[in-house]
């Protein structure tokens, strides 16, 4: 996207806080310095929508100082950092609007993309308003898109990333399950529809992982990191529906970024 920026902060304190509250399975590895540049591409899960503390230079994209790319850059001190991820970006938007930050000296690229392409916002709306039949129909259409046009869009995007950053390590991160089944939510969707949404996330992750590995990229699965922290859990790291901040619904909170995504990226990079 347009305006890269790293939020100021004490990286040692950020790391200490993350490690102090992380479960053993999500504990961070020791930080290391990265000689080349780091470019963070993708959609709202990478920009940090839902985490708050949005940067003035990327407010329209919901770029947060608490997003995992910012935290990773603060901890590892890359030679340069470009924060290009933007709320709502699909594969085509990343391809046409974000790749200008890549180059021969790029050492690391991270990316979350695919949810917007499959219309997950519409799927969730259908499940919330359309009953079981409407929900399952919307999920089925989304899965068809994942297996069809999304695969082609990812191939074009991944090929372009490799062409522009031939020496970079590329880490493609997936999406967490949205719901903790048999959880604490007394209202909302029944567990059958919550399970259908989780299954759709699994299918989306499988498609993304397959195309990423076909291009020699690393796929980093975050579902285990978020296990027990989905919506309806006792300690959710994802926002539920918020009618006053609808674009932040179903997105990771600040702990979801620092304790969910960040440790997974640290291990994968």
The pLDDT profile of the chain, 269 residues, written as one tens digit per residue, is 444 434 333 333 333 333 333 344 444 444 555 668 999 999 999 999 999 999 998 678 999 999 999 999 999 999 999 999 999 999 999 999 999 999 999 999 999 999 999 988 888 888 877 788 889 999 999 999 999 999 999 999 999 999 999 999 999 999 999 999 998 887 788 899 999 999 999 999 999 999 999 999 999 999 999 999 999 999 999 998 776 677 888 999 999 999 999 999 999 99
Residue 245 is predicted with a pLDDT of 74
The rounded distance, in Å, linking the Cα atoms of 241 and 14 is 28
Quick check: pTM over 0.75? yes
pLDDT value of position 22: 39
Locus of tokens 């372009």: 160
In Å, what is the CA distance from 83 to each residue of 79, 124, 235, 255? 13, 28, 28, 19
CA atoms of 127 and 142, how far apart (whole Å) = 12
Contact 46, 247 (CB under 8 A): no
What pLDDT is stored for residue 18 in this prediction? 35
CA separation for the pair 141, 130 (Å, rounded): 14
76, 180, 229, 251: which is the annotated catalytic residue?
A: 251
10 Å CB burial of residue 126 (0-12, 13-18, 19+) is buried
* pLDDT of res. 32: 53
pLDDT at 24: 41
Catalytic residue among 44, 116, 233, 258: 44
pLDDT, residue 188, reads 80
Position 34 scores a pLDDT of 63
Known catalytic residue: 116?
no
Say yes or no: domain 11-268 is CATH 3.40.50.1110.
Answer: yes
Active site residue 44: yes
Sheet (strand 80-83) strand order = 80-83, 37-42, 106-112, 169-173, 218-220
């Amino acid at each position: 996207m347009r305006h890269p920026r790293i939020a100021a902060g004490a990286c040692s304190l950020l790391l200490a806080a993350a490690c102090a509250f992380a479960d053993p399975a999500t504990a961070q590895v020791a930080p290391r310095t990265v000689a080349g540049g780091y470019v963070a591409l993708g959609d709202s899960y990478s920009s940090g929508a839902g985490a708050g503390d949005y940067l003035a230079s990327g407010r329209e994209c919901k770029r947060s100082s608490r997003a995992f790319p910012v935290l990773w850059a603060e901890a590892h001190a890359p030679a340069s950092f470009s924060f290009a991820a933007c709320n709502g970006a699909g594969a085509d938007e990343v391809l046409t609007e974000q790749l200008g930050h890549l180059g021969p000296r790029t050492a690391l690229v991270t990316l979350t993309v695919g949810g917007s392409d499959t219309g997950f916002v519409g799927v969730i709306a259908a499940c919330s308003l359309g009953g079981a039949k409407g929900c399952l129909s919307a999920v089925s259409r989304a899965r068809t898109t994942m297996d069809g046009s999304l695969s082609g869009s990812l191939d074009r995007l991944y090929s372009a990333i490799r062409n522009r950053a031939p020496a970079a390590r590329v880490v493609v991160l997936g999406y967490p399950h949205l719901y903790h089944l048999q959880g604490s939510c007394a209202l909302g969707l029944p567990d059958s529809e919550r399970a259908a949404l989780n299954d759709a996330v699994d299918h989306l992750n499988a498609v993304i992982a397959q195309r990423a590995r076909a291009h020699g990229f690393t796929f980093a699965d975050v579902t285990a990191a978020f296990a027990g922290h989905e919506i309806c859990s006792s300690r959710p790291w994802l926002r539920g529906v918020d009618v006053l901040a609808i674009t932040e619904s179903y997105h990771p909170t600040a702990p979801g970024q620092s304790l969910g995504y960040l440790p997974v990226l640290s291990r994968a990079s």
